[in-house]
Amino acid sequence: MTQLERVNPYFSVWLHPKRTTRYILQNKSFFFTMIIISVGFIGILLSLLVDSELYPTLPIWGIILL
């Protein structure tokens, strides 16, 4: 297996998710992995809420507070 180059997970996860995942699993702790998953989950949750029926009735700050 080739040596993985050092990547900044916060930036590379958007452009190269597979390479970033490999790097995190091999070089970072479990806590760091959970932080990255949580950040991704927040983004997915907000995009799903915008597409749902809550968006027209709640202001954006109300959705973020959920």
Q: In tens digits, what is the pLDDT along the chain, a chain of 66 residues?
A: 455 577 888 788 778 878 888 888 888 888 888 887 787 787 777 777 777 766 667 776 776 776
Residue 1, in any domain of the structure: no
Residue 1, pLDDT score: 42
Residue 3, in any domain of the structure: no
Q: Residue 57's domain spans which residues?
A: 10-65
Number of domains in the chain: 1
Residue 55, pLDDT score: 65
Whether pTM > 0.75 for this model: the answer is: no
Residue 47, in any domain of the structure: yes
Residue 61, in any domain of the structure: yes
Residue 4, in any domain of the structure: no
Residue 37, pLDDT score: 79
Residue 26, in any domain of the structure: yes
Residue 5, in any domain of the structure: no
- 44 Cβ contact list (under 8 Å, min separation 6): none
Residue 29, in any domain of the structure: yes
